[in-house]
Structure 1
Amino acid sequence: MTDRLNLAITCFPTFGGSGLIATEIGLAMADRGHRVHFIARDLPVRLRGTSRQIFFHEVTESDYPALQHSGTYPLALASKMIEVASYERLDILHVHYAVPHATAAWMAREVLGDKAPRIVTTLHGTDTTLIGTDPSYLPITRFSILRSDAVTAPSEFLRQATWEGFGIPESFPIQVIANFVDTVRYAPVRDRACLRPLFPDLEETEPVLVHVSNFRPVKRIGDVVATFAEVHRQRPCRLLMIGDGPERSPAERRLRELGLEGRVAFLGNQEHFVELLAASDVFLLPSEQESFGLAALEALSCGIPVVATAIGGIPELVDRGETGFLSPVGDVEGMARHVLSLVSDPPRWAAFSRRARERVLERFRLAPAMDRYEALYRRLVAGTAGR
C-alpha cells in the first residue's frame, strides 16, 4: 500500500445533502494528496475549479429504443465503475446512497473479481428509510448493504433504522461518521447588507427567517409558510426560501393568498448562499423525516439558531434549549413560539448563537471527519477491516 490512495466516489450530482457531502469528501481527499475519481451522471454541483488530483467520469445510458424507460442507469453505472477500476487500479469505491449505487458497485465487483476495489457504502436517509424498505427494493438493497466491505451512516438514528428496517443484526458493523461542515466557509459573519437587494425596506431590527431544502413533501414546506405567517402576525418579519422542488408553487400560492408574498424571497437552487444564511436570525426545519439535517448544521455553523422537528437525526444535531428548539411534527404554533422567544430577546439569541457555533466546532468540523474516513479507507486497503 502506498501513501496515496486511488479513490472513486459515486453520488447523485444534485443539491441534495448526500451529493454535497460526497463531493466535499472527494475535495478534501484530493487536498490530502489522494487521487479522486467522481463517477456520476453529471458533474457534482460543488465540484468547483480544477485539480490534477480530481477526475470526472460521466455515466451515459444507451439511447437504444428497446431500452428506453427500462431503468438502465444502474447497469451503465456498473459498467463505468468496471472501466474506471480497470484502467485506474482503484483502491476504494465509495458510494453514497444504497439504491442504486451500492447495487451497481456490487455488480462491478462481481465482474472485476480479485481486481475489484474495496466498497464503502454511506447511507444517507431515504435510501434506507423510504426507498430501500419499499417491498419492491428491500431484498436487493439489503443484499447490497450486506455485501459492502464497510458501511457508514451520518447519525445513530440512521444506523438503528437500517438495522431495524432491513432486519440486519446489530452485530453487522455500521460506523457512524457524522456529517460535517467547512467551519471557515460557514462562519458567523453577520452583514445584513446582502439582504437589501431582496428586501429594500427591511428594518434594522426586523427578524429574517430562512429555510434551505429540496422542497420535497417530506420537508413540509407548508409548515415553513405557516410558521412564518404566525410569527409575522405577532411581529413583522421576512422569510428567505433557498432551494426548489415540487412544493415551491403551492407555497408561493399560499403566500399570495395570505398577502405576504412581498415579505418572502424565493431564490431557487443556490450554490453560494452563505452570506444570506449568516445574515438571517432563525433557521426553520419542520421536516417529517431527516436522517441528519445538513442544512441545519450549516446554519448552526454560522451561529444561526435552529427551530426544527424532533425527528430522525435532528436531536443529535440540535441541542434543545441551547442551540435551538425542537417541536413535534406539524406543531406550527409551537415552532412560532420558539422563533418569537429568540427574536424578541436579543441577549438570549446571542447566547444561542454563540453556543451553536461552539458545538459545531466541537463536534462537526471537516478535518476530524476526514481523518475517520481516511483511516477507514486505509484499514480496508490493508485488509484489517471489512467483511
Structure 2
Amino acid sequence: MKELLYWPENDIRPVGGPRGYLYNLRAGLERFEHKNLEVSYLPPSTMENSSIRKLLRDWTPTRFKNLKRLHKMMGYPTKAVTPRINFDEFDVIHFHQVEDLFFVREVLESYHGKVILTSHTPCAPQQEWLSHLDARDIATHRVELQQLDDVVAFAFDRADCIMFPCPEAEEPYYHTWHEYDSIHNKNISKYKYIYTGIDKCSVNQSRLDIRRKYDIPEEDFVISYAGRHNRIKGYDRLIEASPALLSDIHTHVMVAGRPGAIPSPRNARWVEIGWTNDPYSIIAASDVFVLPNRETYFDLAMLEALSLGVPVVATNTGGNKVFSRLGPNGVLLVNEEEEIADAIGGLRGKSNSERLYLGELNRSIYEKYFTTDVFARNYVNLIESMLI
C-alpha cells in the first residue's frame, strides 16, 4: 500500500502547523516498522525556502503585501493546480491544507484511492486566511471573500476521512464557522481522531543554572509561559492574574517568546526572556507551566510540558479539554484569570515532593499517549484499516 503525504519533503521541520505535524510523524515512522505501507512526500520545493524570496518579502511594503494576499485569496475559488506527481500511483493521499485539496479537485475527479484531510488551522481555515488581510480590504471585498466558505466546505465534503487530534480540537471550528455543525453532522462517519505525538523534549541547561542565570533563588516558586504575547494565547489573562501571583515575594514568572502589543508587568520578578532556541530549559526550571489560551486547537506546548514532567495550569478550552479524561495527571483546567491565579496558588502551597509527583504523572501521560512512536503506530493502523 502506498500513501502520499501531500507536502514538499524539504519543507518539514520542528515548528507548528503541518510542518511540525509531519516532522513528528516522520520521526515516529522512521522507528516504527510498517512493512505494509510505503509513505512518500511531494518533490522538494525550490522557491518557498529561497533566500532571495525571503529577502524580497522582508523589504516589500506592508500595503503591497496586504494587496498581494487579498489577490491570492480572491483567486482561491477558481484556482486549479496540476500536481507534480501522479496520484494514481497511490492508494491514499493525505492533505494538510484544505486549499491544497481544493486546488487539485479536477484531478481528484478521476482518482479512486482514499483522500484524507487534516486541517491544522487553529480556527476555521477561511477565518485564519482572513485574519491575515487588512480589515479595509475585507470590508470592500466581503462578497467575493465569502466564497472562501465554499472552498473549505468542498474540501471537507470531498475527503473520505477527516482527521483531527481529538474531538475537543474541533471546538474553535464550531466557534468560528456557523456552518460547521452541519458540515460535521453531514460527514460524521468520516471523522477519525489520532493524538499528535512529539519527541521527548530535552534541556540544555539545568534547573539550577537557569535560576542562577536569572537571579532566582533555588527554593522560590517559578511560573513559566512560552509563546506569542497575544489575546488568543491568553497572555493578557496571565498578566491580569499577575498581581495575585506576584503578591508573594518568593514567586517569579519566566516568559519565553517575542514581546508583542500587550505590555508586560514592570516587576523585577517578572522575567521577559524573549525569543529563545531553548524554551525547554525555561519550562523545566519552573514549578508550573501555564497555558491560558482563549481558543486552542491542540497545543504542542502542552505536550512539551508533559514530556518535561512539569505540572500545568491550562484554560478549559479546545484540545486542552482532553486532559479532563486522561488521568490521573498534573494538568489543572481552569476558566478565568481569577481561577488561573487560584490554581497556581494552590500548587504554590504544595510541597516540592507533591509537585514532583504531579509532574511525574504528566510524564507518564506523555509516555502513554503522546510520543512519536505511539503517534506513528496509531497513524499506520488507521491507514491500513482504511485500505484493507
Which bracket does the TM-score occupy, shorter chain normalised? Answer: 0.7 to 0.9
CA contact (8 A) 2:126 2:152 kept: no
Quickly say closer, same or farther: Cα 1:78–1:367, change in 2 above 3 A.
farther
Q: Of the candidates 137, 149, 158, which is equivalent to residue 138 of structure 1?
A: 149
CA contact (8 A) 1:281 1:305 kept: yes
CA contact (8 A) 2:123 2:172 kept: no
- Counterpart check, 1:325 vs 2:332: yes
Quickly say closer, same or farther: Cα 1:6–1:334, change in 2 above 3 A.
closer
Match of 2:162, SS?
Answer: strand
Match of 2:120 in 1: 124
- Counterpart check, 1:354 vs 2:379: no
Quickly say closer, same or farther: Cα 1:77–1:237, change in 2 above 3 A.
farther
What does the per-residue CA deviation read over 1:148-177, in whole Å, with 9 as the maximum and x for residues that have no partner?
132101121235775872412264321011
Quickly say closer, same or farther: Cα 1:287–1:379, change in 2 above 3 A.
same
- Counterpart check, 1:335 vs 2:335: no
Q: Of the candidates 7, 11, 14, which is equivalent to residue 9 of structure 1?
A: 7
TM-score (norm 1): 0.73
Quote the Cα distance in structure 2 between the aligned partners of 1:341 and 1:190: 28
Quote the Cα distance in structure 1 between the aligned partners of 2:298 and 2:182: 22
Q: What pairs up with 1:225-304 in 2 under 5 angstroms?
A: 225-244=239-258, 248-251=259-262, 253-256=263-266, 260=267, 263-268=270-275, 270-304=276-310
Quickly say closer, same or farther: Cα 1:254–1:276, change in 2 above 3 A.
closer
TM-score (norm 2): 0.73
Quote the Cα distance in structure 1 between the aligned partners of 2:108 and 2:159: 15
Match of 1:54 in 2: none
Q: CA deviation at 1:302?
A: 0.9
What root-mean-square deviation, in Å, do the aligned CA atoms of Structure 1 and Structure 2 show? 4.1
CA contact (8 A) 1:307 1:324 kept: yes
Match of 1:280, SS?
Answer: coil
Once superposed, which parts of structure 1, at least 4 consecutive aligned residues long, lie more than 6 Å away? 10-14, 38-41, 75-78, 132-135
Q: What pairs up with 1:159-238 in 2 under 5 angstroms?
A: 159=170, 165-168=180-183, 169=185, 171-183=188-200, 185=201, 191-196=206-211, 198-199=213-214, 201-238=215-252
Match of 1:255, SS?
Answer: coil
Q: CA deviation at 1:306?
A: 0.8
Quickly say closer, same or farther: Cα 1:166–1:117, change in 2 above 3 A.
same
Query: How many residues of Structure 1 are paired with residues of Structure 2 in the alignment?
Result: 344
145-154 or 19-28: bigger deviation: 19-28
Quickly say closer, same or farther: Cα 1:296–1:130, change in 2 above 3 A.
farther
Q: CA deviation at 1:145?
A: 1.0
Q: CA deviation at 1:39?
A: 6.8
- Counterpart check, 1:102 vs 2:104: no
189-198 or 202-211: bigger deviation: 189-198
CA contact (8 A) 1:240 1:267 kept: no
Match of 1:157 in 2: 168
Match of 1:240, SS?
Answer: strand
What does the per-residue CA deviation read over 1:248-295, in whole Å, with 9 as the maximum and x for residues that have no partner?
3344x3423xxx156313322x45432332222111111111122221
Match of 1:217, SS?
Answer: coil
110-119 or 147-156: bigger deviation: 110-119
- Counterpart check, 1:25 vs 2:25: yes
Match of 1:234, SS?
Answer: coil
CA contact (8 A) 1:132 1:141 kept: no
Match of 1:218, SS?
Answer: coil
* Partner amino acid, structure 1, of 2:273: F
* Partner amino acid, structure 1, of 2:367: L
- Unmatched runs of 5 consecutive residues or more in structure 2: 33-37, 131-144
Quickly say closer, same or farther: Cα 1:202–1:158, change in 2 above 3 A.
closer
Quickly say closer, same or farther: Cα 1:27–1:206, change in 2 above 3 A.
same
Quote the Cα distance in structure 1 between the aligned partners of 2:87 and 2:295: 41
Quote the Cα distance in structure 1 between the aligned partners of 2:79 and 2:230: 26
CA contact (8 A) 2:14 2:23 kept: no
CA contact (8 A) 1:227 1:335 kept: yes
What does the per-residue CA deviation read over 1:61-86, in whole Å, with 9 as the maximum and x for residues that have no partner?
9x9x9x9451169699964x701x23
What does the per-residue CA deviation read over 1:304-355, in whole Å, with 9 as the maximum and x for residues that have no partner?
1111111222121356884122221xx2232122112213322321221121
Alignment identity in percent? 19
* Partner amino acid, structure 1, of 2:340: M
CA contact (8 A) 2:228 2:260 kept: no
CA contact (8 A) 2:222 2:288 kept: yes
